[in-house]
Amino acid sequence: MKNSILNHPIIAERYFFPRYESFENPYFVECNGIKLACYYENNHPKAKTIVYFHGNGETVADYLDFFPQIFDQAGYNLLLFEFRGYGMSTGKPTLVDMLSDVECVIKNLDIQQNKIIIYGRSVGTLYAVHAASVFPNSYALILESGIADIEERIMIRLSSPTEIDSSFEELKQEFIKHFNTKNKLSAFKGKSLVLHTVNDQLVSVTHGKKLYEYLNQPKKIHLFERGDHNTIFSVNQNEYFQILFDFLKEK
């Protein structure tokens, strides 16, 4: 299969910000010759499993001080997905190749779709949206500070398509082929929650509103008045989790 121009090293270098961060007892999953160092806690065999995709510049290790405890106490299992090239994972991040990693890791869990909760933040929502299209019968989808139009985000980092020996038309076709957010979300049959802050200067709240528009019912959206792209969680922590857990418990 022809390698996508969206995997070009210049795009990867300008869009992704991987860093090494180690932690104890990683849950390694081998996908396409790459070892992904995820974190997996499965203390509730009959419960639902949250599959979380973190944001850019973050790693799984950043979440270990609080996420496992919070979701364990609430009765959920947790898989923190790690991107290739991030944390303890091997390889280098590439926009399109990472889509297949999503399918590989979730299939490796070997759990029923209706027991899966897909949850993504920022760049992680690109891969959460893809997961929702591949596993459309998952129980729920949560998109926080999400990206509705990755083409916009990539093109502001390129002076011209000629930088990567491409054209506007080729790039547009590749974005449609691999990151058609509207089509991917239209396939999802579970319930959905969109979280965003109106003060997000990095990924405008218009992205969150667009994601909500693309989703099928039942769906909810909550726009926080406090916090920005990187503080939406810390500034609104109590309200954030109240909204999240109320949503998950609703029939």
What would the pLDDT profile of 135-163 be if each residue is shown by its tens digit? 999 999 999 999 999 999 999 999 999 99
Among 127, 140, 121, 132, residue whose Cα is nearest residue 200: 121
Domain chopping of the chain, boundaries: 5-249
Tell me, what's the pLDDT at 251? 76
CA dist 64 and 235 (Å) reads 19
Query: Hey, which CATH number is domain 5-249, 3.10.180.10, 3.40.50.1820, 1.10.510.10, 2.40.40.20?
Result: 3.40.50.1820
1 pLDDT exceeds 60? no
Tell me, what's the pLDDT at 22? 97
pLDDT per position as a tens digit, 16-75: 999 999 999 999 999 999 999 999 999 999 999 999 999 999 999 999 999 999 999 999
10 pLDDT exceeds 70? yes
Say what percent of the chain tops pLDDT 90. Answer: 98
pLDDT per position as a tens digit, 67-112: 999 999 999 999 999 999 999 999 999 999 999 999 999 999 999 9
Which residues have C-beta within 8 Å of that of residue 39, sequence separation ≥ 6? 23, 25, 26, 27, 60, 63, 64, 68, 78, 79, 80, 82
The whole-number average pLDDT for the span 107-135 is 98
The whole-number average pLDDT for the span 116-143 is 99
- What tokens appear for 101 in the block? 């990693």
The whole-number average pLDDT for the span 113-129 is 99
CA atoms 61, 65, 67, 69: torsion sign: positive
2 pLDDT exceeds 90? no
The whole-number average pLDDT for the span 221-241 is 97
**pTM of the predicted structure, to 2 decimals:** 0.96
